[in-house]
Structure 1
């Protein structure tokens, strides 16, 4: 998925004479940004079901997704209780002091949702069953990853499974920003791998997997804004903290036996052109590594 960013005259401003005040369900990952002093922002991408706002900071990119209930609930999203405001790429916005202002809309968090799963302990035998089921569903799905048959992805999987920090980081460095679109395939795979290693590693008591997640997080987020798109850099930072979309969280809960796995996995696979399949591939890489590393430490 691509979006044009050709300079043009600004149509909107951060403040308008009349504003519509609405509420939404905000990710707790956005608490620091929404609670900070008001900062200028701009519309980075605009679609019928969502807007991406880039907040202007001196540090790593901070992108906020404003979406409807039909859109993917990203870990950096506020889900509107109402219609999407009319806005175009390049329009001014503002984020902070408890609200988001864009396209004549003033949006505040009416409630919060947590993008970090709470899985609890999981028997490795349960994870092995989930790995077999996921592998079968992904292999038979017509939705293919954007980097299908990539040697670099295979090297990432091998490095994670072996618990090799050097091999894992070498492969990850080659994947950051790899592929077209707002969220390149390489980044989606890394995001899935990060949350899978961290949360399933904790659930299975595979300490080495959790350690690898920490090192991988540091490697893929270092200076991410120069290596990938602002939206994808923000999502990598979310994944590094263990935060994921609602669709990914559902698959993690399915893997842990907290809900049905197959329907959740099929919903994830349908996201975007390749994003859902890329995320599922990353989850598989992490899950397989957790099982291998849990056997080593048991």
Structure 2
């Protein structure tokens, strides 16, 4: 049974669709439905923009055909009832990010060559960052793209809808894996995995307990993907002006948190 689906793929589950399984991993199976990448995951995996969370991960086989009719997603040897709830992440508004807790931001910075390279490049702008780390590293989501996704998510939250087209164009120009491309594209739209959104809200609110919990969840993602994503968000926040005032902190409440 399908529990929920991220904003990037929820629509696919509500109409007729066809595709194939393209890869199978311990905690996820990636499908290509029509032209969109979908990650089937179990209930112990956090929500994300291309995640379809199921009560149990089905026994997918690479290359097998998959089809959906708007209420059921199935292959030859398994079927999932859906379409499930729609999940999307929210981000703090610019004023809330300006009133962030810098000590909590620093806790997300970890040592590493890619992160050091990203920090140097980011001082010259997001375009320089893309050139320096885009597509850099092995794996489903190279480390450079994880860092870039974190920076882009913060840029989208801080800049609002007006920056989305620019960020999407930058991310579309990165030569990388299909999985990384999908997550970069959705970061440009303000969507990432759930603990990334939780961490941004906690840092903006100065909530140390919530920030620590979100960071632990981030660090548990992949071999190093979550660590690099968190570091990217920290680098992105470090580029933003900071305002320390009760007025700004008070204005960062639910009324200014926008859905993206």
TM (norm. structure 2) is 0.80
Structure 2 counterpart of 1:111 = 85
- Structure possessing the higher radius of gyration over alpha carbons: 1
5+ residue gaps, structure 1, are: 1-21, 160-166, 203-209
Q: Which residue of 2 aligns with 1:66?
A: 40
* 1:241 has 2:189 as partner: yes
What is residue 29 of structure 1 aligned with on the other side? 8
Matches of 1:187 and 1:211, distance apart in 2 = 22
Q: 1:147 aligns with which of 108, 114, 118?
A: 114
SS at match of 2:37: strand
Q: Does 1:86 align with 2:62?
A: no
Distance 2:44 2:129 in 1: 35
- Deviation at residue 170 of structure 1 after TM alignment: 3.2
- The yes-or-no answer on 1:156 pairing with 2:137 is no
Q: Secondary structure of the residue that 1:271 maps to in structure 2?
A: coil
RMSD of Structure 2 on Structure 1 (CA): 2.7
Q: Is the 8 A contact 1:145 1:275 kept in 2?
A: no
Counterpart of 2:202 (choices 221, 234, 254) is 254
Secondary structure of the structure 2 residue equivalent to 1:290: coil
Q: How many residues align?
A: 241
| Structure 2 unaligned regions, length at least 5 | 245-260
Matched, 1:55 2:26: no
Query: What's the offset of the Cα at 1:137?
Result: 4.9
User: CA 1:255–1:90 in structure 2 vs 1: closer, same or farther (change >3 Å)?
Assistant: same
Structure 1 partner of 2:142: 184
Give the Cα separation in 2 of the matches to 1:145 and 1:104: 42
Does residue 170 of structure 1 match 2:128? yes
Aligned CA distance change for structure 1 residues 185 and 137 (closer, same or farther; 3 Å):
closer
Are the structure 2 counterparts of residues 121 and 195 from structure 1 closer, same or farther at C-alpha, using a change threshold of 3 Å? closer
